[in-house]
Structures are given as structure tokens and as C-alpha cells.
């Protein structure tokens, strides 16, 4: 996840992109640790379309904006950060869970 105003990146290892898991990551690692964002920009992934995800955002007053399907350039900053992060982690042996905190 990328905070666009400061370019701050929050990367959290998760086993699978399930709606419940992604929702908990947003709540625990963004809302609880930092602040409640006004807007979250997501792709069209099913985890972001779930009723639970939408309900939790609504509860916190967070507006959700979705990128155009099959158009990752719409969220280019996050896509670029993801690519850089993947390359760096691969150069360290690919152990995401161990290496991610040192990024």
C-alpha cells in the first residue's frame, strides 16, 4: 500500500489475497497504526469487492476508488513500488516474511 502524499509504502506479507485477510491488514496496519485515510485506491481484485471490505471502509468513513480493470497504470505509483519491492526481495533470496521488515 502506498500513501500518495508522502510516498510512504506499507508492505505486509500475507499468505493469500482473501477478502477477510486483506480487510484485516488494512484495519490493523493502516487504520490502527497510522490514521484513517479519506480515500483508498484499489484495483479490481475480488478481495476489494467483498461486502466485508466495503462495510469496514464505510464504518470508518473511507471512500473506495477502484482502478479501471486491466489497466494497472491507473495506480502506477503502487505498481512501481510493488515491482521494486519484488525485485529487491528476489535479490535477497525470496524469503519475503524474513526480509520484508528490513525494507
Range(s) within the chain of domains with CATH label 3.30.420.10: 14-66
For the chain, the first-to-last Cα distance in angstroms comes to 14
How far apart CA 1 and CA 28 sit, in angstroms, is 13
Residue 51's pLDDT is what? 94
pTM above 0.75, yes or no: no
Topology of the domain covering 14-66: Nucleotidyltransferase; domain 5 (3.30.420)
Residue 29's pLDDT is what? 85
Handedness of CA 51, 67, 29, 12 (dihedral sign): positive
* pLDDT tens, residue by residue, 6-65: 777 888 888 888 999 999 988 888 888 888 888 888 888 898 899 999 999 999 999 998
Amino acid at each position: 500500500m502506498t500513501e500518495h502524499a508522502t510516498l510512504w509504502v506499507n508492505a505486509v506479507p500475507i499468505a493469500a489475497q482473501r477478502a477477510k485477510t486483506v480487510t484485516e491488514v488494512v484495519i490493523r496496519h493502516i487504520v490502527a497504526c497510522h490514521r484513517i485515510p479519506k480515500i483508498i485506491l484499489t484495483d479490481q481484485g475480488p478481495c476489494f469487492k467483498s461486502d466485508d471490505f466495503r462495510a469496514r471502509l464505510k464504518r470508518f468513513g473511507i471512500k473506495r476508488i477502484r482502478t479501471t480493470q486491466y489497466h494497472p497504470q491507473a495506480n502506477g505509483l503502487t505498481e512501481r513500488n510493488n515491482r521494486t519491492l519484488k525485485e529487491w526481495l528476489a535479490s535477497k533470496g525470496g524469503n519475503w516474511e524474513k526480509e520484508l521488515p528490513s525494507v
